[in-house]
Structure 1
Amino acid sequence: MTWYVVLVVLVGFERVAELVVSLRNAKWSFAQGGVESGRGHYPFMVVLHTGLLAGCLVEAFQRPFIPALGWTMFALVVLSQGLRWWCISVLGQQWNTRVIVVPGLHLVARGPYKLLKHPNYVAVVIEGIALPLVHTGWITAVVFTVLNIPLLAVRIRSEEAALSAALVK
């Protein structure tokens, strides 16, 4: 159980690292004339992702660790983190947790973006299912996923509209 708590705390620290990168990139984007859109869904996204971590911890105290499931899901958590940071590194200063687009930049089409249109959201979906299931937290996995579906629909629509209006293709 202790190692799972450490894992969830480490994922929480990873989220803080994302926010640090995001704030730095937001400052750069705004200095380059960046425009933010889709602000309305952002607070819900923060609450949902915080709730994922809290739900993992609460539910873990009520569920057993099943090695075959747990280790498989742990591998998916690690892979999702790798995919997320690959996305962050490829987008560089254009990456953000918010939808901020600098007009005139080119759409990134290398790295994971060469293979998938929204690889970062693939990482989010995988992590949202896998992290709770590392310790059999199926309720957290289901609730997060059900709430994340409409959030991602809004987020992707907002992001695509902003990108198509501002970026050079």
Structure 2
Amino acid sequence: MEPLVYREPLAIAAFAATLVLWCLSELRIMVRNRGGSGENLDRGSRVWVVVLIAAGTAAAFGLAWLEVGRIAGWGVVAVGVALALAGIVLRQWSAATLGAFFTTAVEVQADHRIIDRGPYSRLRHPSYTGALLTAIGVALALGSWTGCIVASAFSVAGLVLRILVEERALASRLGPAWTSYARGRKRLIPLVW
């Protein structure tokens, strides 16, 4: 049987609207944040994040057709869409909170300072947490635990790589200020890492 988001008009509409919103929100970030004035310390991590999240999400679409790991029902679609929307909101809020310091490349600008308000009061990288929530939500809405696990694993792999590159750059450029900030916050998942 086809996943609900492929056959029920309301599920199709909610899921499609979520996908469009996700794409538009990422486009907004890319257009608004083409790069700051700092040295690019990205080391190719931006490409890996995009490729791995896209690959995991694409795999989830394919795995949704398999009976293995199938979870069906409107509740699954609703929770998936809600997680994805929460992730989109968190990512946009994070970008807005950092303002000029938010870039799509890993950069430490000359006037860079630690921002510890908003979502950054709880997590070091809430924007990446938002991206992870969105990818998991989209995969879950497709109705496959298998797809959800694959999308999560690929997304986490890309985001961990990115976080390690970014934290190395921040620690080398901001020194004790970064160390002090980082000490009191988890990186990606509250209470875990």
Name the TM tier (shorter chain).
0.7 to 0.9
Gaps of 5+ in 2: 6-11, 178-193
Aligned to 1:116, the other structure's residue is in SS state: coil
Q: 1:37 — aligned with what?
A: 41
Structure 2 length as normaliser, TM-score?
A: 0.72
% same residue: 26
What is the identity, as a one-letter code, of the residue corresponding to 2:98?
Answer: L
Instruction: Note if 1:6 corresponds to 2:13.
Output: no
Structure 1 length as normaliser, TM-score?
A: 0.81
Displacement of 1:104: 3.9
What's the CA shift string for 1:11-62, capped at 9, x where partnerless?
Answer: 1222212211221xx1xx22xxx01113322222222233355445555566
Which protein has the bigger helix share? Answer: 1
| Alpha-carbon RMSD | 2.3
Q: 1:105 — aligned with what?
A: 112
Aligned residues: 162
Kept in 2, the 8 Å contact 1:42–1:98? The answer is yes
Gaps of 5+ in 1: none
Q: How does 1:19-168 map to 2 (within 5 A)?
A: 19-23=30-34, 26=35, 29-30=36-37, 34-55=38-59, 57-58=61-62, 66-167=73-174
Kept in 2, the 8 Å contact 1:66–1:135? The answer is no
Kept in 2, the 8 Å contact 1:5–1:57? The answer is no
Are the structure 2 counterparts of residues 64 and 157 from structure 1 closer, same or farther at C-alpha, using a change threshold of 3 Å?
closer
What is the identity, as a one-letter code, of the residue corresponding to 1:112?
Answer: P
What's the CA shift string for 1:131-151, capped at 9, x where partnerless?
Answer: 111131433322222122332
What is the identity, as a one-letter code, of the residue corresponding to 2:106?
Answer: V
